[in-house]
Amino acid sequence: TTRAALDAAPDAARWAADYTAGLTRAPRVDAEAVVEFAVLSIARSGAPDVDARLAALLADAIALAERLSGRSARTDAPTPTRVLAPAQARVRTVAAARG
Q: What is the pLDDT along the chain (99 residues), one digit of tens a residue?
A: 677 877 888 888 788 788 778 777 666 667 778 888 888 899 888 888 888 888 888 888 877 777 777 776 666 655 555 555 666 666 677 667 766
Q: Is the pTM of this model over 0.95?
A: no
Give the SS3 label for residue 24.
Answer: coil
Residue among 60, 10, 52 nearest 35 (CA): 60
What is the CA 9 to chain-centroid distance, rounded? 35
Are 66 and 18 in contact by the 8 Å Cβ rule? The answer is no
Measured CA to CA in angstroms, residue 8 lies from 5, 13, 16, 25, 70 at distances of: 5, 9, 13, 25, 32
Give pLDDT, residue 34: 81
Please provide the size of the chain in residues: 99
Measured CA to CA in angstroms, residue 47 lies from 42, 53, 54, 56 at distances of: 8, 9, 11, 14
